[in-house]
Chain A
């Protein structure tokens, strides 16, 4: 019993620290990749090739003045960034990041908890992130923040549907909602082969879900200053940032688990495979971000409702037909 407790706590600490660290270094990766895509060099001053930049940024943000607008709702204003970070970090709890390992005769699964409705857990928590954005936008008492919050809410609601429907194909093939089962189902062939359309849909919808650039109308800096975090400064702003990037890591991990075979892979240890796949999915996200311009608001809604949703539905129907045909 004690062993389980200690193993569990150690796993949680590793995941927590890893997520926070990767979220911090993702900012550097993002800046570096943006720089390379724009033929620049990116941060080069702090440490070797700017390697200490995230730490310098963190220290700077930590010591900055914490400004709360005079008419803001103080409680909600401080609560909102926390509401963004916590769901983003918690989502990782159900993702298996390695094959079960044996320690002192016990088999320890490399997954914080194996919920048998893992997918639903992920979907529920990723939608919770909207609350942080909307509450933050409302509590700042600023027109830009409010507009950003409302836009984000509308966008997330519409893309949530496509996001959920794109996973249904996976659930049908795997026949299970537990993520560890889904990973073990992919030992022969990755689900991206069966569900290429679902993969693309999930990639697009999750980009919208994370408020990243082709769909970042919630913080469109050309239109509404910085959207929902216009009024935020210091650590609260950093929390929004951490939440955003942690969500990106988590979404990449979800894609890896659902479509790219999770930790499965030859030769290398499972954890390394998992990290490599997550890294490549993150690279795809960054690549998308620095390629495409922001969608206009009506285009975004059109795209979500008139394009992604029908395709997601068609994908489910086709998957069902093929499954029935193959069985019979």
Chain B
């Protein structure tokens, strides 16, 4: 191997020095590519998908019927669902079709429900979630879908487990 120093003429060296100075002065007058992150945000793409969240009906009731398909398909076992029902209360106006549905009547008398099962607790461990979108794909009720909220941070691992309320709220 040739270990000799490559000798260059002084003219060439000084030319290279000047090129270096030119490069830095050019970048000096360019706009910075960084931005003040917590104050400004990067404009994310419209199709950007991050963590799953739960969808609700226009009247605010959960779409999820706790079929446990998503829990089954989840490759990282991030989803935990406990099946239950929702008591809407006597004031709530059920549609005709919901009134006809008596499938839950032998559970408890005097429940005003829509005749469907709903999750009593629906937890997604965001620390386990890999944002693969299988749950969204498999959901027959379009109850779960991936949102654009990528800024999730917690102080403890337990905070990373999102319940129903948090999942509805997150975008």
* Nearest CB on A from B21, distance (A): 5
What residue in chain B is nearest A292 (Cβ atoms)? B20
- Docked CA distance A99–B17 (Å): 37
**Contact between chains at B32 and A37 (CB < 8 Å):** no
Q: Are A291 and B36 in contact (CB under 8 A)?
A: no
- Count A-side interface residues using an 8 Å CB cutoff: 14
Contact residues in B for A38 (Cβ distance below 8 Å):
27
Q: Is the interface of A mostly helix, strand, loop or mixed?
A: loop
Question: Is there an interface contact between A44 and B36, defined as CB atoms closer than 8 Å?
Answer: yes
Chain B: interface residue total (CB-CB under 8 A): 15
Once the chains are docked, how many angstroms separate the CA of A38 from the CA of B27?
7
Contact A37 B21 (CB under 8 A): no
The answer to whether A40 has its CB under 8 Å from any CB of chain B is yes
Q: Are B32 and A41 in contact (CB under 8 A)?
A: yes
| CA distance in complex: A146, B57 (Å) | 73
A290 interface residue (CB < 8 Å to B): yes
Could you write out 9 A-B pairs with CB less than 8 Å apart?
A: A35-B32, A36-B32, A39-B27, A39-B30, A39-B31, A40-B32, A40-B33, A41-B34, A41-B36
For B31, give the chain A residue with the smallest CB separation: A39
Q: How far is the CA of A37 from the CA of B30 in the complex (A)?
A: 8
Q: Given the known A-B contacts A41-B36, A44-B36, A291-B20, are A36 and B27 also in contact in the complex, defined by CB atoms under 8 Å?
A: yes
CA distance A290 to B27 in the complex (A): 11
Residues of B within 8 A of A78 (CB): none
Distance, CA A221 to CA B28, complexed state (A): 25
Name the CB-closest residue of B to A35. Answer: B32
Chain A residues engaging chain B, CB cutoff 8 angstroms: 33, 35-41, 44, 287-288, 290-292
Question: Chain B nearest CB: distance from A310 CB in Å?
Answer: 12
User: How many whole Å from A231's CB to the nearest CB in chain B?
Assistant: 33
CB atoms of A287 and B24 under 8 A apart: yes
Nearest CB of chain B from residue A169's CB, rounded to whole Å: 20
- Asked whether, in the complex, the Cβ of A36 is within 8 Å of the Cβ of B28, the reply is yes
The answer to whether B156 has its CB under 8 Å from any CB of chain A is no
* Complex contacts, A36 vs chain B, CB 8 Å: 27-28, 32
The 8 Å CB contact of B21, one of A40, A41, A44, A291, is A291
Complex CA–CA separation, A35 to B23 (angstroms): 14
Residues 16-59 of B, flagged 1 when their CB comes within 8 A of A and 0 if not, give: 01001101110110111111100000000000000000000000
A39–B34 Cα distance when bound, in Å, is 7
Task: For the complex, give the distance between the alpha carbons of A101 and B162 in Å.
Answer: 73
Q: In whole angstroms, how far apart are the Cα atoms of A40 and B24 in the complex?
A: 13
Starting from the known contacts A41-B36, A292-B20, 9 additional A-B residue pairs (CB-CB under 8 Å) come to: A33-B28, A35-B32, A37-B27, A37-B28, A38-B27, A40-B34, A41-B35, A287-B21, A287-B28
User: Which of B20, B27, B28, B30 has its CB near the most chain A CB atoms (within 10 A)?
Assistant: B28
Query: Do residues B24 and A290 form an inter-chain contact, with CB atoms below 8 A?
Result: yes
Tell whether, in the assembled complex, residue B20 and residue A39 are in contact, meaning their CB atoms are under 8 Å apart.
no
Q: Which residues of chain B are within 8 angstroms of A37 by Cβ–Cβ distance?
A: 24, 27-28
